[in-house]
Amino acid sequence: MHRLTLLLTLALACFITAVDAQRPRAHEALYAQLCANCHGVDGAGGQGPSLIDDVWTHGADDASIARVIAQGSGAGTMPAYGEVLADDQIVSLIVLMREFRNRPQLDAAKQAAAGTDGRYKTDLTDFTLTEVFSIDDILWGLDFLPDDRMILSAKSGRIIITDGSTTTEISGVPAVHDEGDIGMHDLILHPDFATNGWIYVAAVVDGDPDSDERRAMTEIIRGRIRDDRWSDEERIFQARPEHRAAGRARLGSRLLFHEGYLYFTIGDGGPGEPSQDLTAPTGKTFRIHDDGRIPINNPFVDHESANVYRAIWTYGNRNVQGLAIQPDTGLMFATEHGPRGGDELNILTPGTNYGWPLVTFGIDYNGQPVSALQHMPGVQDPLLHWTPSIAVCDIHFYTGVDFPAWHGDLLVAALGQEHLRRLKLKGTQVISQELLISDIGRVRSISEDAEGNIYLVTNHRGENPRSHVYRLARKH
d(CA 41, CA 36): 5
Q: Residues 378, 97: contact at Cβ < 8 Å? A: no
Q: Look at phi and psi of residue 80 and say left if phi exceeds 0, alpha if psi is from -120 to 50, else beta.
A: beta
Tell me which amino acid residue 50 is: S
Mean per-residue pLDDT for 91-103? 90
Q: What is the pLDDT of residues 186-231, one digit of tens each?
A: 999 999 999 999 999 999 998 766 665 668 899 999 999 999 999 9
Assigned architecture for domain 119-474: 6 Propeller (2.120)
**Whole-structure pTM value:** 0.91
pLDDT score for 9? 33
pLDDT score for 207? 77
- For the CA atoms of 321, 322, 323, 327, what is the dihedral angle to 10 degrees? 180
Which ranges in the chain are annotated with CATH 1.10.760.10? 3-112
Cβ-based neighbour number of residue 211 at 10 Å: 9
Predicted confidence (pLDDT) at residue 14 exceeds the cutoff of 80: no
How many residues does this entry show for the chain?
A: 476
391 pLDDT band (50/70/90 cuts)? very high
Predicted confidence (pLDDT) at residue 3 exceeds the cutoff of 60: no
pLDDT score for 230? 98
Predicted confidence (pLDDT) at residue 442 exceeds the cutoff of 60: yes
pLDDT score for 340? 92
pLDDT score for 368? 87
pLDDT score for 229? 98
Q: What is the pLDDT of residues 450-473, one digit of tens each?
A: 888 999 999 997 778 999 999 999
7 pLDDT band (50/70/90 cuts)? very low
Cβ-based neighbour number of residue 377 at 10 Å: 4
Mean per-residue pLDDT for 275-292? 97
Q: What is the pLDDT of residues 53-66, one digit of tens each?
A: 888 888 888 888 88
22 pLDDT band (50/70/90 cuts)? very low
Max avg pLDDT among 28-37, 68-77, 196-205, 263-272: 196-205
Which ranges in the chain are annotated with CATH 2.120.10.30? 119-474
Comparing CA positions, the residue from 223, 236, 237 lying closest to residue 172 is 223
Predicted confidence (pLDDT) at residue 278 exceeds the cutoff of 50: yes
d(CA 279, CA 335): 23
Q: Residues 234, 291: contact at Cβ < 8 Å? A: yes
289 pLDDT band (50/70/90 cuts)? very high
Residue ranges of E strands in 48-148: 119-120, 127-135, 139-144
Max avg pLDDT among 46-50, 177-181, 352-356: 352-356
* 312-315 and 284-289 strand pairing: antiparallel
Cβ-based neighbour number of residue 394 at 10 Å: 27
Mean per-residue pLDDT for 363-389? 94
Q: What is the pLDDT of residues 403-422, one digit of tens each?
A: 999 999 999 999 999 999 99
Predicted confidence (pLDDT) at residue 425 exceeds the cutoff of 60: yes
DSSP class of 382: P
d(CA 237, CA 291): 9
Mean per-residue pLDDT for 87-106? 91
Determine the longest span between alpha carbons in the chain, in angstroms: 84
pLDDT score for 11? 38
Q: Residues 416, 389: contact at Cβ < 8 Å? A: yes
Q: Which residue has the higher pLDDT, 85 or 151?
A: 151
List of residues 6+ apart from 435 with CB closer than 8 A: 109, 110, 112, 113, 419, 420, 421, 422
Q: Taking CA 72 as the corner, what is the angle to CA 66 and CA 77, rounded to the nearest 5 degrees?
A: 130
Comparing CA positions, the residue from 397, 439, 445, 399 lying closest to residue 419 is 439
pLDDT score for 16? 34
Q: Residues 178, 157: contact at Cβ < 8 Å? A: yes
* Topology of domain 3-112, CATH: Cytochrome Bc1 Complex; Chain D, domain 2 (1.10.760)
Give the CA radius of gyration of the chain.
24
Comparing CA positions, the residue from 264, 298, 299, 256 lying closest to residue 396 is 256
Poorest-pLDDT segment among 18-22, 174-178, 254-258, 335-339:
18-22
List of residues 6+ apart from 194 with CB closer than 8 A: 146
Average pLDDT over all residues of the chain: 90
| CB burial readout 31-47, b (16+ within 10 A) else e | beebbbbbbbeebeeee
Comparing CA positions, the residue from 69, 90, 97 lying closest to residue 372 is 90
